[in-house]
Amino acid sequence: MGVLYDKLATDVRFIESLKACINCGTCTAICPAAEFYVYDPRTVAITVQTQDDAKIIELLKSETIWYCGECMSCKTRCPRGNVPGLLVIALRALSQDLGYFTESEKGRQQLALKRAIGEKILSHGYCINPDTIAPGNHPEQGPIWEWEMEHIEEVMEKLGANYKGEGPGALRKIPQEDLDEIHKIFEVTGGMDRFRDLEKFSKAKAEEMGVEFGEGANNEYFRMIYTTNNQTHTRE
Amino acid sequence: MKADGKKLIWKEYQKEIADDHYFYARSCIRQNFFPGSEKAFTRIMKDELGKDLCDNQHHTSCTGIGYHTDVVPFETTMTVIARQFSLMTEAGYSNYIASCITSFGLYTEIIETWKHFPETLEKTRDFLYKATGREFTVPNNLAHASDIIYKFRNEIAAKAKYRLVDKNTGSPLKVVEHIGCHYSKMFPHKGVGGAEYPYVLTGMIESWGGEVVDYPERRHCCGFGFRQYAIQANRGFSIACSRKKFDSMEPYEPDMIITNCPGCPMFLDRWQYALSEMEGRTYGKDKQGIPVFTYEEVAGMLLGYDPWQLGLQVHQVPAEPLLDKIGIEYDPEAKFKGPNGEDMGKPAAPSYLKFYQE
Ligand code: SF4
Ligand code: SF4
Ligand code: SF4
Ligand code: SF4
């Protein structure tokens, strides 16, 4: 039994996700990610089940664990009650704790997710906010979103939201005392440690790659991880 | 025969849903893209059904998207959710409504985790107390907002001005329902109808006069996939999943899609636009697309609420063909006007998708 396997075994999501995989492939058959990506949840389960540290390290450094969409469709169908999607969540947590996520193109994206979504929880109290969905970065949102953004205050008023307002309602301003509580929860429970690790390991990787690193989205490393797709990930 | 069999299976899953006094938690995705739906929900609860609903200012995100993009650790998410429960406890409520499927799934997962691993509940209590001095009680009843609309679907039908029926032919509209993965794929017994035959939207559609379309990819994910949409380089996954659903439903000529999730109504709406721009491919009749709605939008529409207060004007696939088919009255000129009737211009027309009705 390996050290990494033991570490994984302390994660309740791991305990819930993998009993004894019989390699039947039902999860792969139902998995939307397996249909699109070069991805096979069955192999993930089998690999972890070997309890072989070398193989687990390889997995933690791979593109593989980042393909899952966490839809949990696999949970309903596995005849053994395993949940490859939950196993992937545990593996991703470990990959980030150990800094292995920077070894893959898809893994490196974690820094962008931390900055674009994670930090918004601390600053706005919600994961996403209209200010962060710039039409220029989201052409798929169409002309309707562009129009809505131009008239955001009027549109939100018409739809009954309380945009940036005091009191309850959609898109209200979250009071500072509540943001302070959320911040403290992140400090006490390891959320801030995760954020700091993501920054630290990413910065080291950027230096190793010789790519300019900085805060926010306006730097070479962020642009690289947000947009790079080396086209080797999909089935077609 | 087949349908009868399914009806029997549905009967086996009867989820218990509280009938009054709720604490309501909003969703980040929904308040961005469908604030009118949350407004319609509170309006229906208070004005139509006379229910007591606590709309609390101090709650926040459940961190769900942060958790499912793996940047927020489980302990953090459990403690933020414990804080939401603490606000509920403090306000004197014990029935919790989540306005978001991802939240609902996560709350369910966490409550189950606390049951199976009591030490995680103790640890969460310690964390919350240490960080905020707060204590909390686990809700007696946890529901998704659609569970509540489902529970009162017949009351809503009785008050409705319109039905999901073609006003010219009298035949039921053909409706695609999209349940969303996190509603019941993880914990089938926590959702109305379970994972294989979820009945929550089907129940509404039947009660409101429509006919449900059973198509091959009915249970396929819309393709949000969290990191798969949030990062530009991954979006091909997201659009491929939605496309698979459109291709599969199109031969059944659906009049509309009703969704359960925070993300799906946005993705199923916007990806139709994106596919039309990328490939010139449009779904539905006359390049009009298949309009996509939240269940609150549909309930509001049938109750006779103004479509432009519900937010149907911020859909990229236009809702008017459906409104006309049902015979819902609306003012076409008011669509893009401001709250006080001011002129706000109009969005540009897409290249292929027919957005403006002549
Ligand atoms: S469905 Fe379950 S048992 Fe079968 S391969 Fe997947 S994880 Fe293993
Ligand atoms: S949770 Fe992940 S592994 Fe499971 S079916 Fe969904 S995409 Fe596949
Ligand atoms: S799961 Fe829902 S409420 Fe929670 S963070 Fe996401 S959109 Fe917001
Ligand atoms: S269908 Fe889409 S938005 Fe809904 S739960 Fe699944 S991934 Fe999320």
Task: Tell me the DSSP string of B179-221.
Answer: --HHHHSS-GGGSTTTTTS--HHHHHHHHTT-EE---TTTTS-
What is d(CA A182, CA A23) in angstroms, rounded to the nearest whole number? 42
Inter-residue contact A121 to B63 (CB < 8 Å) = yes
Which has the higher per-residue pLDDT, B184 or A57?
Answer: A57
Query: Is B21 within 8 Å of B52 (Cβ atoms)?
Result: yes
User: Which of B29, B32, B310 to substitute to test the interface with A, most A CBs within 10 Å?
Assistant: B32
Q: CA A58, CA A107: separation in Å to the nearest integer?
A: 13
Ligand 1 atom closest to Cα of A74? Answer: 1
**pLDDT for the residue numbered B49:** 97
H-type helices in chain B, by residue range? 2-12, 28-33, 35-43, 64-68, 74-90, 101-116, 118-132, 145-151, 153-159, 181-184, 200-207, 227-230, 235-249, 264-279, 295-302, 307-310, 320-326
Torsional sign, CA B31, B36, B37, B42 = positive
Rounded Cα distance between A95 and A93, Å, is: 6
Is the model's pLDDT at B2 over the cut of 80? no
Q: Going from the N-terminus, what domains does chain B have, and what CATH number goes with each?
A: 20-145 (1.20.1050.140), 153-334 (3.40.50.11810)
User: Is B131 within 8 Å of A189 (Cβ atoms)?
Assistant: yes
pLDDT for res B196 = 72
pLDDT of residue B1: 39
* Mean pLDDT score across all residues of chain B: 92
Verify whether ligand 3 is closer than 6 Å to residue B265 (CB atom).
no
Look at A188 and B241 and tell me if their CB atoms are within 8 Å: no
Q: How far is the CA of A72 from the centre of ligand 2 (A)?
A: 5
Task: For residue range B136-154, list pLDDT tens digits in order.
Answer: 999 999 999 999 999 999 9
B145 Cα–ligand 2 center, Å: 25
Which of the listed residues A14, A27, A83 should we mutate to test ligand 1's pocket, taking the one with most ligand atoms within 8 A of CB? A27
Report whether pLDDT(B347) > 70. Answer: yes
pLDDT for residue B299 is more than 70: yes
Instruction: Please report, for chain A, the start and end positions of each structural domain, with discontinuous segments joined by +.
Output: 3-98, 107-227
Give pLDDT, residue A153.
95
Per-residue pLDDT for B129 more than 50? yes
Q: CATH assignment of A3-98, given 3.40.50.300, 3.20.20.30, 3.30.1310.10, 1.10.1060.10? A: 1.10.1060.10
Contacts B221 to A, Cβ<8 Å: 32, 69, 71, 73
Regions in chain A scoring below 50 on pLDDT:
none
Task: Please give, rounded to a whole number of angstroms, the shortest distance from the CA of A204 to a CA of chain B.
Answer: 18
Q: Which of residues 111-140 of B touch A (CB under 8 A)?
A: 113, 116-117, 120, 127-128, 130-132, 134
Enclosing H/E stretch for B339: none
For the segment B174-194, the average pLDDT, to the nearest whole number, is 82
Please give the ipTM for the structure prediction: 0.96
pLDDT average, residue stretch B291-309: 97
Which of the pair, B194 or B63, is modelled with greater confidence?
A: B63
B211 bridge partner residues: B174
The model's confidence at residue B13, banded by pLDDT at 50, 70 and 90, is low
pLDDT computed for residue A1 by the predictor: 59
What spacing in Å lies between the alpha carbon of B56 and ligand 2's midpoint?
34
Q: Average pLDDT of B222-251? A: 92
For residue B222 the two structure tokens come to 């819309």
**Residue pair B260/B176 in contact by the 8 Å Cβ criterion:** no
pLDDT over 70 (residue B4): no
Q: Do B186 and A121 touch (CB under 8 A)?
A: no
